[in-house]
Amino acid sequence: MFGELDYQHGTLENSYLFTGEQYDNNVGFYYLRARFYNPSIGRFQNMDTFPGMQFEPKSLHKYLYAHADPINNIDPSGMTPLTDFINTVRRFLPGNYTMPWVLGSFIHRAVCADIQRKNRGVMCDVALPSVKGVADVVLNNLEVYEIKPLGGVIDPEEQLQRYTNGTGLIRGKTPIRGYVKAPPPIFSMDVEYYTTAEPGVIRYMPRINGNFVMSTVVAGVTAYVAANRAALKIRFVIGGFAF
């Protein structure tokens, strides 16, 4: 359940196993970027620098993998599950802002806008009526990309297959990388984005580790609440992120 290999068929070596992450057969650990993960004990080898959140006791454990729930959570960054980010947002943002797809749409727009600023001829949210889809990013060389969260549950493969089927678009292979501040209603939160070995995929990760999320009340959060058709700006002082 925690990624320990019980048996295998055949002799073809594959180093990408549990949750699609890279396994180092020499040491018996998975490389999860910030830390190495030991599947035999379901724990990380190094202490998490994320201090945890008092309202989420499992986050206070410094070596636990995915809150001890690898069925429903993954931790691709070796820092903290994406659910920590969503749960923290839910405490301070109202209504539909707490829905993962809504938060993702804010971040998608910010990432694509940043790519447009840095590259000429980039188009965002490109409608493709012939295949009934909307491509996240299309470069001027007709390379197409989908923007997805690192560790997200939606596989971009089906979308990319449709977007490149008779449209003249090709899966992107141009290296893309950057950092961006998330837009309103999420303030002062760094988001890292980058291309991976998956052609046509740009992954992003909210920087919610270290000083970005604290268990004490230290940082500012701004939320927007609609009231009587007026935009009401409310500023909270809470821990670590900062939206």
Q: Both 220 and 165 in a single domain?
A: no
Nearest to 105 by CA among 220, 176, 195, 204: 204
Comparing 88-92, 157-161, 167-171, 200-204, which segment has the lowest mean pLDDT? Answer: 88-92
Q: Both 56 and 74 in a single domain?
A: yes
Return the pLDDT at 167. 93
Of 60 and 174, more confident: 174
Would 89 be classed as within a structural domain?
no
Provide the 10 A C-beta neighbour count for residue 123.
Answer: 14
- Number of structural domains, the chain? 3
Residue 19, sorted as left (phi over 0), alpha (psi -120 to 50) or beta, turns out to be: left
Q: Both 66 and 103 in a single domain?
A: no
Residue linked to tokens 């919610």: 208
Q: Both 142 and 122 in a single domain?
A: yes
Q: Both 224 and 173 in a single domain?
A: no
Of 174 and 69, more confident: 174
User: Which range has the top average pLDDT, 118-132, 193-207, 212-226?
Assistant: 118-132
Q: Both 104 and 129 in a single domain?
A: yes
Q: Both 58 and 104 in a single domain?
A: no
Would 101 be classed as within a structural domain?
yes
Residue 26: band (very low, low, confident or very high) from pLDDT cuts 50, 70, 90: confident
pTM: 0.55
Return the pLDDT at 4. 82
Residue 121: band (very low, low, confident or very high) from pLDDT cuts 50, 70, 90: very high
Q: Which residues contact 21 (CB under 8 A, 6 or more apart)?
A: 30, 31, 32, 37, 76
Q: Both 63 and 149 in a single domain?
A: no
Rounded to the nearest integer, the mean pLDDT of the chain is 74
- For the stretch 137-173, pLDDT in tens is 999 999 999 998 876 667 789 999 999 999 999 999 9
Return the pLDDT at 161. 94
Would 139 be classed as within a structural domain?
yes
What percent of the chain has pLDDT above 90?
A: 25
Task: Compute the distance between CA of residue 152 and CA of residue 161 in angstroms, rounded to an integer.
Answer: 19
Q: Three-state SS string across 105-168, please?
A: HHHHHHHHHHHHHHCCCCEEEEEEHHHCEEEEEECCCCEEEEEEECCCCCCCHHHHHHHCCCCC
